Amino acid sequence: MAKLTNAELAAKVEEILASMSLEDKAGQMFHAMAFVGDPTVASPMTGEITERMIRELRISHFNAVATAPTAEAFAEWHNQLQEIACDAGFKVPITISTDPRHAFADNPGAAMRAGIFSEWPETMGLAAIGDPETVREFADIARQEYISVGLRAALHPQIDLATEPRWARGGATFGESAELTSKLVGPYIRGFQGEELSATSVSTMTKHFPGGGPQKDGEDPHFPYGKEQVYPGNNFDYHLEPFKAAIAAGTAQMMPYYGQPIALNVNGEKIEEVAFGFNKQIITDLLRNKLGFDGVVCTDWGIINEHPIMGDMWEARAWGLEHLSPKERLVRAIEAGVDQFGGEFCTDLLVEAVRDGLISEDRIDVSVRRLIKQKIHLGLFDNAMVDPAEAAKIVGRADFREAGFRAQQRSIVVLQNNQIAGVAVLPLAGAPKLYVEGIDAEAAAKYGVVVATPEEADFAILRVKAPFEPRPKAFESFFHAGSLDFTDEAREHLLSVAAKVPTILDVYMDRPAILTPLIDAIPAIVANFGARPEALLDVLFGRVKSEAKLPFELPRSMAAVVASRSDMPFDTENPIFKFGHGLSI
């Protein structure tokens, strides 16, 4: 279809809007969760039936939860939802969104494992590479895979600045530097969207405005004990820099975070201490009026009603407005400038609010226009269906997987490479005897002779995760928070191996780790941000040159972390490794 002029686009939007009932319009303003599977049965995640949400609640935006066993099955599921909507008399096609799907994350509240898609390092790994062209390549490949199965909205990039080392969501960011994040977010958005939204685009929902990094004590506002967002360094503007770059790159959508700002002043004005999704000063005054963003604003998931997640009931993240009813919260969010509610499906409350005179239908029309306009730009009105056979050819294509593997190799950061008897430990040579932990023995056997004990080995290679304090409930346990110190047991084990054989330690850093007690005993230490064992071993054996740099600093102690200011980058005293550190071998 030829590109519409502005006048033609406006006329088409008004024509569609005029054909919609209030219930249809209300349905547009909800971005519910849909389990990838049979849409006629209740989702194991929410208990809701997708077909009912389409037919009865008139919802046409869904966040795809879980995955399908094949690309064909994923595409067929998408087409099935479009067919249900058509049969239900929808005036608009379905839009399917997704959290990140191309990496190693094991937090289902924030991302999903790659599965059938090509596999890349986490966003933090792309930051460690630091190359805008690699970021653009990733986004373009992900775009092609998404579109082939019907995914047309990305619930990313996440461009919060990880200035609080303990924060559980830091691993999905580009690190703590506003300059680096701003350099990489443009290529990310353009790789998904192109220079403007079109039938070959995946729209990006950039998050979490105005920056979710400065969490008190590093706790996350998914949970009531982590709701406070603090700025002890008066550094609010620093966290806005990446969002300015995202707006300049044309991001189609924006998601405010759950955080409740405490004692925050912006340009001399005290900001109301209510969560950002309800905050008119942040959404309308700052994001829309000052920064000029006119795209869709969608809340983070579950700010209106309490919801069951993995068997436990969690209260609505309506921080600062806990005393209000769900309907009152909904009204407050719309008054603040919100267009859409993530993870909610209470369309009846919105219809009631309009009929009770709490919100005008004209105000609803403002948001629905934005949503329809983006569906038009994405070409969904022209052809919403996808070809399952074509999806099978595109998703996980060999060259896409190879590009992802190369990025994994390039994202390994060599932190330390000391000498033994005058020779640096890395790169390893020949086919040494290897004692391994956290690495599949079959993979390690391609590089050396795997032995059963440290005493038999020439070298030990130990892969561990950055430390965290486990939390009790199922959903909560996926958020790695608390101390960055290794437990006594973990530390003693690593040191005991290192006392027996020259040791190489690889740490998966979804957060920083305190390496101080290990640095003198373990000669070679590297960091990864999601990498297959073969990608790591290629670097350790010198088959690939190391080039990556730390996208955050590694604190010397927990005392230094506690003393640092949550909103300030590079703020821990005398870090053991600074931002940008990385050795070449």
Which amino acid is residue 172, in one-letter code? A
Q: Can you tell me the distance from the alpha carbon of 364 to that of 496, in angstroms, rounded to the nearest whole number?
A: 64
Those residues whose C-beta lies under 8 Å from the C-beta of residue 522, and which sit 6 or more positions away, are 416, 494, 495, 498, 503, 504, 505
CA distances from 17 to 20, 90, 172 (A): 5, 12, 37
For residue 314, what is the DSSP state?
A: E
Q: Calculate helix-pair angle for 533-540, 398-410, nearest 10 degrees.
A: 50
Q: Can you tell me the distance from the alpha carbon of 274 to that of 280, in angstroms, rounded to the nearest whole number?
A: 10
Report residue 133 as tokens.
């062209």
Residues with a known catalytic role:
300
Phi, psi of 424 (to 5 degrees): -60, 140
Q: Please, what is the Cα angle at 260 between 169 and 556, to 5 degrees?
A: 45
What dihedral angle (degrees, nearest 10) is formed by the CA atoms of 45, 48, 53, 57?
A: -120
Q: Calculate helix-pair angle for 132-149, 398-410, nearest 10 degrees.
A: 150
Which residues on neighbouring strands pair with residue 312, listed in sequence order? 309
Query: What is the SS3 assignment for 49?
Result: strand
Report residue 381 as tokens.
């009105």
Cβ atoms 417, 425 nearer than 8 A = yes
Q: Can you tell me the distance from the alpha carbon of 444 to that of 440, in angstroms, rounded to the nearest whole number?
A: 6
Q: Can you tell me the distance from the alpha carbon of 564 to that of 546, in angstroms, rounded to the nearest whole number?
A: 31
Q: Can you tell me the distance from the alpha carbon of 416 to that of 581, in angstroms, rounded to the nearest whole number?
A: 10
CA distances from 250 to 185, 190, 206, 283, 564 (A): 11, 8, 10, 17, 34
In the block, tokens 């980058």 appear at 569
Query: What is the SS3 assignment for 21?
Result: coil
- Beta strands 413-417 and 524-528 are antiparallel
**CA end-to-end span of the chain:** 52
Q: Nearest-CA neighbor of 111 among 465, 529, 532? A: 529
Q: Can you tell me the distance from the alpha carbon of 485 to that of 270, in angstroms, rounded to the nearest whole number?
A: 37
Cβ atoms 236, 567 nearer than 8 A = yes
For residue 454, what is the DSSP state?
A: G
In the block, tokens 């995760």 appear at 465
E strand map for 144-231: 151-154, 203-209, 228-229
Cβ atoms 269, 225 nearer than 8 A = no
Q: Nearest-CA neighbor of 169 among 178, 179, 180, 156? A: 156
CB neighbourhood size of 37 (10 A): 16
